[in-house]
Structure 1
Amino acid sequence: MKLVILPGDGIGPEITAATVAVLEAASDRFGLGLALDHDLAGHASLARHGTTVRPALLEKVREADGLVLGPMATFEYPEAAQGGINPSMFFRKQLDLYANIRPARTYPGVAHPAVAPFDLVVVRENTEGFYADRNMESGGSEMLVTPDVCVSLRRITRGCCARIARAAFRLAATRRGRVHAVHKANVLKIGDGMFLEECRRAAADFPTVTLDEYIVDAMAAHLVRAPQKFDVIVTTNMFGDILSDLTAELSGSIGLGGSINSGARHAMAQAAHGSAPDIAGQDRANPFSLILSAAQLLDWHAARLGSGAFAQAARAIEQAVEAAVTGGQATADVGGRLGTAATGQAVAALVGGRRDAG
C-alpha cells in the first residue's frame, strides 16, 4: 500500500510524525508493506512552490492507495488566485471523496459531558450542500447581490444522496443495525425530501437494518440527552459537519475522533480538528485523531482488497489508542502525562505488541 503523507500546518507536522510512527509499527507487525511518500501542502508548499497544492501533487495522490493529510491553516492562506487553495476541499472535490466518516465514542477514564458512554458514527455527505467552494463546476454558490444582500445556494442531487445513504447502511450492517437519517425536510421540502427518499430506498435493500428519521434540531437535542441511543447517523454536508463536531466533543475531546474522506477509488485520512497554531511546536498536541483516521484508512483499503492483514492492523491501532488513553499514555488534554511524540511512540509500541512505552 502506497500512502502520500502531507504534514500540513501548525501542529500538523508533529501529529503526522506520531501517526507515521504508528503506521510503520503496524506495517512491520502485520506485513503490510507500506510505502510512505512524504510531500508538501499548505504553507510549506506555498513558500517553496508558490501554491498550497501544486498540480503534480494531485497526480501523485491519484496514483497512490491513500492520502494522510495533516491539519491546514486555511484561514491564513491568500486568495486562491494567489495560490491559497484549501487542500482539504481540493482533494475532496478532485478525488470525489463523497463520504466523510466520523466515529465518536467515549473512552474509560476520560471525562466527558455525555450522560452515558456511547459509540456512534456520523456519515456525512461530503461533496455538495451549502458549501460554496465545492458544489459548482466553476465559480462559487455564494453571491453578494448588493452590499447588504447575500444569496447562498445549496446543491442537492439524487445521485449523491443515494450513494451516501447506501454507505451508511453498509456500515450499520456491520455494527448495531440502525441508521438515523437527519434532515430538515419540514422546511427544505425538495432537497431534504430527496435525501429522505434515497435513505428509504436504501433501507429497502438492507432488511436487517432499521431506519429512523430525525429533524436536525431535534437530533442535536437527542444527542445531548442520550447519545448512547444512536448507531450510524447519516445526513447532508452542513448538518454532518456540525453534528460530527458535537458528537466528538461529547466523547470528551474532538482530539479523540477519527475522520476519513472516502470515495469509490480514493480515500484521505484527516484529523477532525484544526491546525492549533497556538500550541504548534510545543509537543503538546494530541495525535489521536490523525492516528485513528489512519486506522480508518487501513480499514478502507482492507475492504477494497478483502485483506485480513489490513483489517487486523486497523483494529490493532484502535485497540492501542484505547489502551494508551486508559493507561494515561496520552497528552494532557485527555488526562495523560506525555507529549505528542511520546504519545505516538507509546501507541506504536502497543501496536507492535510491546508494552514498554511511556
Structure 2
Amino acid sequence: MKKYKITLIPGDGTGPDVIRAARIVLDAANVGIEWDVVDAGEGVIEEYGTPLPDHVLDSIRRNKIALKGPLTTPIGTGFRSVNVALRKKLDLFANVRPARSLPAVKTRYEDVDIIVVRENTEDLYAGIEHMVGKDAAESIKIITRAGSERIVRFAFEYARREGRKKVTAVHKANIMKCTDGLFLDVARQIAKEYTDIEFEDRIVDACSMKIVQRPEELDVLVMPNLYGDILSDICAGLIGGLGVAPGANIGTDYAVFEPVHGSAPKYTGMDKVNPLATILSGVMMLKHLGEKDAADRVMKAIDEVLTEGKYLTYDLGGSAKSSEMGKAIAEKL
C-alpha cells in the first residue's frame, strides 16, 4: 500500500474536535495516511511567540499536504490573519470551495453543485491600504496578468479533472476596466485552449442574482480574491451553511485542506459541532492525492449517515457528538 505523510494541524477552539472526527473517518478509509501532528494558532503563542511557528511551515513544506482545523487569529498581534499568512508563505494561490447539496440537510434549494475557484494572493483582499490624511482611506486593487493566468488555468484544469462542463469568469470589468478588464481578457484568452469546456463570463452582481435564482445553471466559477470571498459564502448558504462547506488552498507545490468555518471558541472541548466541513475537506484531500475510490467511498458513507438521520449534530436536527458522527461514517466504510 502506498503511504502518505500528511501534516495535521488541530487548530483552536472546536478545531481539535472536528479534526478528531475527520481523522477517524480518514483512517477508516485505509489509504495509508501517517499523520504529522503540529500545533498552530492562538494556543501556541505563549510557547513560541507567534501563532504560526516555523516548524509548522517546515512540516507542510516537507509533506506537501496538510489538513487543518480552524485557527483563531488573536487580537493585537502582528498577524492580520493566520490563514492569510499561511497562504502567502506557501504561495497557495487557489482557494477551492465546492458547494454540493447533501441528503437530509434541509435548505431552500436542491441539487446545488457549484465549485468556486478564488484567486488567493492579490486584489483588494490583499489589504494594501493606507490613510490619506485624517479623513480618507485608500485601498489598492492589484490584478496581475501572471496571477490571473494561473488561477484561470487552474480553474479549467480542475474542471477537466472533475468532469465539469463549464467555467464562468466572474468580474466587474464594465466599471473596473483596467483591473477586472485584465482578468477578463486573460480568462477569454485561456478559455480558447480548453475547447472541451464551455466558457462564459458574468458581472459579479448579476452572478450573485443567478446563484440564488438558478444555481443549477452554474458549474465552476473563477474570480478575483474579494468576489470569491463573498460568493463562496453565498454558495455555502445554498447547501446549509459553513458547517457543511469544505475548502482547500492549493499552490504549485503545497496544498492545505480545511473547513471554512471559524473556531467557535464558546464550544471548545464540547465535542458538539458539525464535523462535516472538515470531513468533506478530507474528501477533497483524498481526490488531490489521487485516491478517488477512497473519496467516493467516504462520500457514500456520509450520504448514508445523513439519510439515516441517527447520528446528526445539533445543527442538523440531531443530538450526536462530533466524534459520534465521525464514528458512524467510519463504520459505514
1:315 aligns with 2:318: no
Alpha-carbon offset, residue 37 of structure 1: 0.9
User: Aligned residue for 1:137?
Assistant: none
1:175–1:231 Cα contact (<8 Å) kept: no
1:177–1:210 distance in 2 versus 1, CA, 3 Å = same
Following superposition, the deviation at residue 67 of structure 1 comes to: 1.0
Structure 2 portions without partners, runs of 5+:
none
Q: Which runs of 4+ in 1 moved over 4 A?
A: none
The answer as to whether partners of 1:15 and 1:287 remain within 8 angstroms in 2 is: yes
8 Å contact 2:246–2:277 — kept in the other structure? yes
Contact 1:285 1:331 in 2 (8 A): yes
Task: Select the residue among 133, 147, 150 that pairs with 2:134.
Answer: 147
Task: State yes or no: 1:188 paired with 2:182.
Answer: no
Per the TM alignment, residue 85 of structure 1 is displaced from its structure 2 partner at its CA by 6.5
Alpha-carbon separation, structure 1, partners of 2:222 and 2:13: 31
CA contact (8 A) 1:52 1:86 kept: no
d(CA) in 2 for partners of 1:161, 1:51: 32
- TM superposition shift of 1:318: 2.1
Q: 2-side partners of 1:327 and 1:160: how far apart? A: 45
Does structure 2 retain, via aligned residues, the 8 Å contact 1:179–1:209?
yes
1:225-282 per-residue CA deviation (whole Å, 9 max, x = no partner) reads: 1111111011111101100011011112221111011111110011111111232222
| Aligned match for 1:324, one of 279, 295, 305 | 305
The number of equivalent residue pairs is 328
d(CA) in 2 for partners of 1:112, 1:339:
22
- How far apart in 2 are the matches of 1:67 and 1:13? 15
Amino acid at match of 2:222: V
Distance in 2 (CA, whole Å) between partners of 1:319 and 1:205 is 35
Partners of 2:112 and 2:238 within 8 A in 1: no
Maintained 8 Å contact 2:36/2:59: no
1:113 CA displacement: 2.2
**TM-score computed with the length of structure 2 as normaliser:** 0.94
2:83 aligns with 88
1:40-85 Cα distance to aligned partner (Å, 9 max, x none)? 10122112212111122211210013111211121x33321xxx57
**Structure 1 residue aligned with 2:125:** 131
Structure 1 residue 156 corresponds to structure 2 residue 143: yes
Indicate conservation of the 8 Å contact 1:128/1:155, yes or no.
yes
Between the aligned partners of 1:23 and 1:10, the Cα distance in structure 2 is 21
Offset of residue 124 of structure 1: 0.7
Flag the 1:65–1:315 CA change in 2: closer, same or farther, 3 A. Answer: farther
Any idea what the Cα deviations from partners look like across 1:106-135, whole Å, max 9, x if unmatched?
122221123x421111011111111235xx
Q: Which piece of structure 1 moves more, 277-286 or 205-214?
A: 277-286
**1:8-48 CA-partner distances (Å, limit 9, x unpaired):** 1111111011111112111x2xxx32110111101221122
Which amino acid is the alignment partner of residue 25 of structure 1?
A
Aligned AA for 2:48? H
Amino acid at match of 2:97: R
CA distance in structure 2 between the aligned counterparts of 1:318 and 1:147, rounded to whole angstroms: 54
RMSD between superposed Cα atoms in Å = 1.5
The aligned runs of 1:1-358 (5 Å cut-off) are 1-26=4-29, 28=30, 32-74=31-73, 76-80=74-78, 84=79, 86-114=81-109, 116-133=110-127, 141-173=128-160, 174-302=162-290, 310-328=291-309, 329-351=311-333
Which amino acid letter does the alignment assign opposite residue 133 of structure 2?
T
Matched residue SS, 1:77: coil
Gaps of 5+ in 1: 134-140, 303-309, 352-358
Letter in 2 for 1:124: R
Partners of 1:262 and 1:132 lie apart in 2 by: 17
Counterpart Cα distance in 2 of 1:97 and 1:315: 25
Instruction: Please say if residues 15 and 290 of structure 1, whose CA atoms lie closer than 8 Å, have aligned partners that are also in contact.
Output: yes
SS of the counterpart of 1:52?
A: coil
